[in-house]
A and B are shown apart, each in its own frame.
Chain A
Amino acid sequence: MTVDANLVNNVTAFIWHEADLLDHKEYQDWLTLWNDSGLYIVPTDNNETDYEATLNLALDDKDMRRMRVTRLESGESVSAGAASMTVRMMSRVRIVEQNEEQVTARCAMTLNELRHGKLITYPADVEYILTPKGSSYSIQRKVVKLLHADGYLRTVSFIF
């Protein structure tokens, strides 16, 4: 097995950039990372593959992503106002598939949130489908598979 270290590096750099934007709530910049037809998905069932035909925690197309960001930035949401910063670690990046058009990558995420003085942790497996854009990428699909997706979650006022 050979690992294309250069490719892994480029993809990791992109994932870290996205993570940094989200942790620092630079949501407008985050929106520009996406293809118009891209989908942001947080499933309730991690074995599911047909996301449109099942209930998800989030299934955001372009409009829903924009509305989600508007809501979080509006100053009108009491929970978004109470949310602290998040700190996420992205690691274990592996290229699952690659061709001219797109790269499919998978990685591990641990996201920490401080909420009403309590530390809450979200471990997840994250899958990206990225398309080349200039010297970097743009997101065609991001699927966040929370380890406890089918358990009882706390409410979420940030973006995974």
Chain B
Amino acid sequence: MSELISLENISLKAADMVEEGRVHKDLYSDPAIYEEELDKVFNSTWVYIGHESEVPEAGSFKTSYIGRHPVILSRDRKKNTHVLLNRCRHRGATVCEHRKGKTKAFACPYHGWGYGLDGSLRGVPKLEEYDGVLDKNELPLESLRHESYQGLVFATFKDDIEPLEDFLGKAKKWIDLFVKQGGGFPLKVLGEHRFNFPGNWKIQLENTTDAYHFPIVHKSFVSSLDDATADIFDFLDGEGFVEDLGNGHSVMVMIPELIDLEADLDQPIPARFEELAQALREEGQSEEQIKRLVRASHGTGFNLNLFPNVSCSMAFFRVLRPVSVNETEIQHVALGGEGAPAVFNQKRMRLHEHFQGPMGFGTPDDGEAWERVQKGSMAGQDGWILVNRGMGKLFTTPDGNTAGAVCSETGMRGAYQHYKKMMAAGEEK
């Protein structure tokens, strides 16, 4: 009998579909597995919500999601941040439908209950009818545990999981390196592109640690570049690597010379950056500052994948949200420096527009490939997705981590092994 029951256990079924070098295609297409993932993964770990620069002042807010749950990231009058469930405590309407903005309070549109930026219930119309039945102190917007690292804000439904910094672990070193692209200024969100694709969220999760596809899928992008820039994107035969950072995180280093944007600042400015350098010179920036800004302008040489929903991807944040088993929403968040010269931030936005977003020279081709993967997952009864590339040539990095070549699938394997662990957690075999 107990054996029969365990056969029905969807989480364990999903966990068993992850093998060392391959995963079953049903992980992309089975709606029952998807439902379990929302609970076992998204409701059970740290999920990226946004960047602190998106809520810069008292009264700032932005809306976001943890899996299926709408949430609000807000900053109260004392400048403390909060992550609140976007659900009125009366009869449950969402209290905020704006993407971002500034407000004094969140007013529920249905019967007018009003909440402070810290979630506290402030106003209830015709309060006298609640005499003896309602205590306002007991009905704030539900507040979630949240912590941030280098301005990246994560929230979780779990009060008993490890602190954020422990969860990020070995990824912290790479976040520290990533934020240097503010060019000496604090990193700041400049805007975002939003698009969706008809496919499972894990297809996107894999893609940000997939260098193998780049010269194939993005051939038309590389062709559009000048020769010197095209050379930089020709990284498959270079010294790059993919390092498993634990907890599902990984880093894919494509351009090793651009790991640390504050190193090598005494090198001459490459000719292709001369236009930006000149524009900065005309603004009266010092040569030292110009070198620093120019080097930071194109972003880092690596993708840092943070399980389960954000990638610090060379020059921007790539945030995913699962909508259904075969639909995923993606944000490409453009970054710059708070207080940095306008020409620097504008250059970064133009570079972002060039490749990213639904009209960039890169994303539409990625989208086409991902859509095909989802369609292909319906073919046959027993198909497998191979993630074994580079498994025979692993090595250990100076940090003590398992790594493979830049175009290996080491990062995907790390993410799937963590996924397997989370799906099986708390289930009895």
Q: Taking beta carbons and an 8 Å cutoff, which residues of A are in contact with B?
A: 42, 44-45, 52-59, 64, 67-68, 70-71, 74, 76-80, 82, 116, 150-157
Contact = CB atoms under 8 A, between A and B. Distances in A.
B349 A55 contact: yes
B194 A80 contact: no
Given A55-B193, A79-B367, A155-B197, A74 B354 contact: no
21 contacts: A42-B359, A44-B191, A44-B192, A54-B190, A55-B190, A57-B193, A57-B358, A59-B353, A70-B224, A74-B220, A77-B364, A78-B369, A79-B365, A79-B368, A80-B364, A151-B194, A153-B358, A155-B195, A155-B364, A155-B366, A157-B364
Nearest to B354: A64
A83 to B, nearest CB: 9
A78 B349 contact: no
A150 B371 contact: no
Given A71-B223, A74-B223, A79-B364, A155 B358 contact: yes
**Chain B binding surface, main DSSP class:** helix
Pairs of residues from A and B, 4 with the lowest C-beta to C-beta distance, nearest first: A55-B191, A77-B220, A155-B364, A79-B368
Contacts of A77: 219-220, 364-365
Interface string B336-372: 0000001000100110111001110101111111010
A154 B195 CA distance: 6
A58 B99 contact: no
Contact of A76 (B219, B353, B359): B219
B196 interface: yes
Interface residues of B, number: 37
Contacts of B358: 57, 153-156
B144 interface: no
A53 B342 contact: yes
B379 to A, nearest CB: 15
Contacts of B197: 154-155
Contacts of A53: 342, 346
B217 A152 contact: no
B375 to A, nearest CB: 8
Contacts of B221: 71
Nearest to A77: B220
Given A55-B334, A152-B195, 11 more contacts: A55-B349, A68-B361, A71-B220, A71-B361, A77-B219, A77-B220, A80-B220, A151-B194, A153-B195, A154-B195, A156-B364
